[in-house]
């Protein structure tokens, strides 16, 4: 289920479906491990007309069962990040519901992982909504890993993910990517032509400065789910290599990390260093963003587009990001955002913003104007719907052509 809407992909899907629900009947099927409360089920009415929950059990991360699954997965052709979501029950329910009626016009697989549960023999077309190029994420994990044993494992997972992703991109009738870069990468590396770009949007009515929070002149903020490995790596990179350089110029600089499930090492660091505040999950990230003098996205691993950057822009924040962090976004370095790919350059950009508040405010204002003008969700959802409708038309045309061809062959045989 989508609630709580606390991760980038969930935010994208939630807003997209809310818009699509205005004109289309949405049935949402989700694996349910029992962690969602009754409120999450009730809130499903925001984005779908019918919610189908498929019971599912997942090993707790870092448990003995979790490590046993990792070991067993070495012999699987599927990467662990895909295999752990395999569900015969979901596959069966999709097949039964779609093939026993003419109710469904299209099946959309949201993210790559559930694709393992989408049957091949469906009576309607299928669309794969790719929020990232997943293989690229695993490749970057492999590239930045220093532990040789982990590096060997990550390389294997990257290659498995690459094979699976290529197969799925070719199997679905249409693939929708969230950035031009991802679109081109899938065309080039997976040899698929049926891939289209739908840009990410942002709720500019929700993400807007309230004027109630006082900016803390030395405070830097990062937001993101801390149980997602690219975000964990980003904060390790920032605290280990960038923050010490900033402190040479600004000893009183602080960092606020906002996001669910912070890793143990970060919690330990925050206990030792009071200038690093770790909030864990919060109901509303906006006050923390509004109080910050700068917003940082030190990602070295990732794919897709970064919702956090659009949210920061909508909140009128001056942003410093790596190239990976801003990958796929139509923003201009030095105008709406600052791009820095070395610790030295990143630290210098942060120091410049913190010591020039009027300049930071000017950049933040330009950033908000850009997202308001170009990246509202209604336009994004309209583009998504048009691709879905074109896919449906193409599928129906192909079925009619096939039917005519079969009848012609039968008549010739007679």
Q: What is the pLDDT of residue 317?
A: 97
Q: What is the pLDDT of residue 216?
A: 97
Please indicate whether residue 140 or residue 171 has the higher confidence score (pLDDT): 171
Q: What is the pLDDT of residue 102?
A: 87
Averaged pLDDT for residues 200-211: 90
Q: What is the pLDDT of residue 229?
A: 86
Q: What is the pLDDT of residue 412?
A: 58
| pLDDT range class, residue 124, cuts 50, 70, 90 | very high
Q: Is the pLDDT of residue 258 over 60?
A: yes
Q: SS3 sequence, 279-309?
A: EECCCCCHHHHHHEEEEEECCCCCCCCCHHH
Q: Is the pLDDT of residue 84 over 80?
A: yes
Q: Which residue has the tokens 């209604």?
A: 378
72, 148, 249 from 66: Cα distances, Å: 10, 21, 44
**Number of helical (H) and strand (E) elements in the chain, helices listed first:** 16, 12
CA torsion sign, 331 to 334 to 336 to 338? positive
CA torsion sign, 300 to 302 to 305 to 311? negative
| pLDDT range class, residue 379, cuts 50, 70, 90 | confident
Q: For the chain, what is the mean pLDDT?
A: 92
Q: Is the pLDDT of residue 254 over 60?
A: yes
Averaged pLDDT for residues 134-161: 94
Domains of the chain from N-terminus onward: 8-201+382-400 (3.40.50.2000), 216-374 (3.40.50.2000)
Q: Is the pLDDT of residue 330 over 70?
A: yes
191, 200, 250 from 11: Cα distances, Å: 29, 10, 35
Q: Is the pLDDT of residue 410 over 90?
A: no
Element (H, E) at 121: none
**Beta-bridge mates of residue 50:** 27
| pLDDT range class, residue 90, cuts 50, 70, 90 | very high
Q: What is the pLDDT of residue 285?
A: 94
Q: What is the pLDDT of residue 405?
A: 60
What percent of the chain is modeled with pLDDT above 90?
76
**Beta-bridge mates of residue 175:** 128, 195
Please state the separation of Cα 227 from the chain's center in Å: 13
Please indicate whether residue 11 or residue 267 has the higher confidence score (pLDDT): 267
Of the candidates 390, 381, 9, the one whose C-alpha atom is nearest the C-alpha of residue 198 is: 381
Please state the separation of Cα 326 from the chain's center in Å: 13
- Running DSSP on this structure, what letter comes out for residue 240? I
Q: What is the pLDDT of residue 9?
A: 85
* pLDDT digits 0-9 by tens, 40-50: 889 999 999 99
Q: What is the pLDDT of residue 195?
A: 97
pTM: 0.75
Q: Cis link prior to 4 (omega < 30° from 0)? A: yes
What percent of the chain is modeled with pLDDT above 70?
95
Q: Is the pLDDT of residue 104 over 80?
A: yes
Please indicate whether residue 177 or residue 306 has the higher confidence score (pLDDT): 177
Q: What is the pLDDT of residue 411?
A: 55
Cα-flanking dihedrals φ and ψ of residue 64, to 5°? -65, -40
């Amino acid at each position: 289920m989508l609630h709580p809407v606390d991760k980038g992909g969930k935010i994208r899907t939630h807003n997209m479906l809310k818009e699509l629900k205005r004109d289309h009947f949405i049935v949402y099927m989700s694996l349910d491990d029992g962690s969602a409360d009754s409120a999450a089920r009730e809130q499903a009415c925001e984005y779908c007309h019918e919610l189908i929950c498929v019971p599912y059990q997942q090993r707790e991360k870092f448990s003995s069962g979790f490590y046993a699954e990792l070991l067993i997965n070495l012999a699987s052709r599927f990467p662990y990040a895909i295999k752990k979501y395999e569900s015969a029950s979901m596959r069966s329910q999709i097949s039964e519901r779609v093939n026993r009626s003419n109710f469904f016009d299209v099946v959309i697989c949201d993210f790559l992982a559930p694709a393992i549960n989408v049957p091949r023999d469906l009576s309607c077309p299928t669309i794969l909504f790719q929020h990232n190029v997943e293989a690229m994420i695993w490749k970057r994990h492999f590239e930045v890993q220093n532990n040789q044993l982990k590096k060997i494992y990550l390389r294997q997972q990257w290659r498995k993910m690459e094979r699976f992703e290529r197969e799925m991109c070719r199997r679905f009738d249409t693939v929708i990517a969230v950035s031009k870069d991802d679109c081109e990468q899938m065309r080039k590396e997976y040899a698929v032509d049926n891939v289209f770009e739908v840009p990410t949007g942002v709720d500019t009515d929700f993400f807007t400065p309230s004027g109630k929070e006082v900016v803390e002149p030395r405070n830097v903020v990062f937001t993101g789910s801390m149980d997602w490995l690219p975000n964990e790596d980003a904060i390790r990179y920032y605290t280990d290599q960038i923050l010490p350089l900033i402190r040479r110029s600004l000893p009183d600089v602080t960092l606020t990390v906002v996001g669910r499930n912070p890793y143990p090492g970060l919690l330990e660091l925050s206990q030792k260093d009071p200038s690093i505040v770790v909030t864990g999950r919060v109901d509303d990230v906006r006050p923390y963003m509004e109080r910050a003098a700068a917003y940082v996205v030190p990602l070295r691993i990732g794919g897709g587009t970064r919702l956090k950057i659009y949210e920061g822009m909508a909140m009128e924040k001056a942003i410093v990001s790596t190239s990976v962090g801003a990958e796929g976004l139509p923003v201009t370095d030095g105008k709406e955002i600052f791009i820095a790919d070395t610790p030295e350059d990143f630290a210098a950009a942060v120091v410049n913003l913190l010591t020039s508040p009027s300049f930071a405010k000017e950049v933040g204002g330009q950033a908000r104007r850009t997202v308001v003008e170009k990246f509202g969700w209604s336009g994004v959802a309209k583009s998504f719907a048009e691709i879905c409708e074109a896919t449906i038309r193409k599928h129906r045309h192909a079925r009619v052509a096939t039917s005519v061809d079969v009848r012609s062959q039968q008549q010739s045989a007679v």
